[in-house]
């Protein structure tokens, strides 16, 4: 019995360490899938593809837009899909660029940063039915100088 207790006591930290290290080191598949979701989001915006945009959004999606001294604006998923489908983007092709950074993946949640020439988005994503969906966005629009 003493041997069992000793073996259990020695193995316990290994069990906890392996579960936390699995969370700290997300799989490349999850990081890649998060990056793909964010890329689809911005490309849907650039091309006015409402269907593609809708596929990237979580049902509880909420976006907060910060722009200088203008009051914070919010958009939910249905507003975002509608706006993308009805308001063409007025950006030259050369300015339709993005840099996507996956900041963290922990189980079924993730965070990412999207940088474009005119704004920065910080995103929270959640895995829903095996697919990464954008749950929230905080966007800071760059002031034109």
Domains defined along the chain, listed by start? 27-141 (3.10.450.50)
- What residue spans of the chain are helical by DSSP H? 2-24, 28-47, 50-56, 77-86
Q: Is the pLDDT of residue 16 over 60?
A: no
Buried b (16+ CB within 10 A) or exposed e, 10-43: eeeeeeeeeeeeeeeebeeebbebbbebbebbbe
Q: Is 77 exposed, middle or buried (0-12, 13-18, 19+ CB in 10 A)?
A: buried
When pLDDT is averaged across residues 107-132 and rounded to a whole number, the result is 97
Q: Is the pLDDT of residue 114 over 60?
A: yes
Using one digit for the tens of pLDDT, what is the confidence trace for 60-112? 999 999 998 899 999 999 999 999 999 878 888 888 999 999 999 999 999 99
Q: Is the pLDDT of residue 126 over 50?
A: yes
pLDDT at 67: 93
pTM score, whole prediction: 0.79
């Amino acid at each position: 019995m003493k041997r069992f207790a000793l073996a259990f006591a020695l193995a316990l930290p290994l069990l906890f360490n392996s579960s936390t290290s699995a969370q700290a080191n997300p799989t490349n598949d999850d990081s890649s899938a998060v990056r793909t979701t964010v890329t689809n989001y911005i490309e849907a915006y650039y091309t006015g593809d409402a269907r593609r945009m809708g596929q990237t959004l979580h049902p509880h999606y909420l976006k907060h837009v910060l722009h200088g001294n203008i009051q914070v604006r919010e958009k939910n998923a249905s507003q975002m899909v509608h706006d993308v489908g009805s308001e063409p983007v007025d950006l030259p092709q050369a300015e339709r660029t993005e840099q996507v950074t996956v900041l963290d993946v922990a189980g079924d949640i993730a965070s990412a940063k999207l940088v474009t020439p005119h704004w920065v988005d910080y995103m929270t994503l959640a895995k829903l039915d095996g697919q990464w969906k954008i749950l929230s966005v905080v966007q800071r629009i760059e002031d034109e100088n």
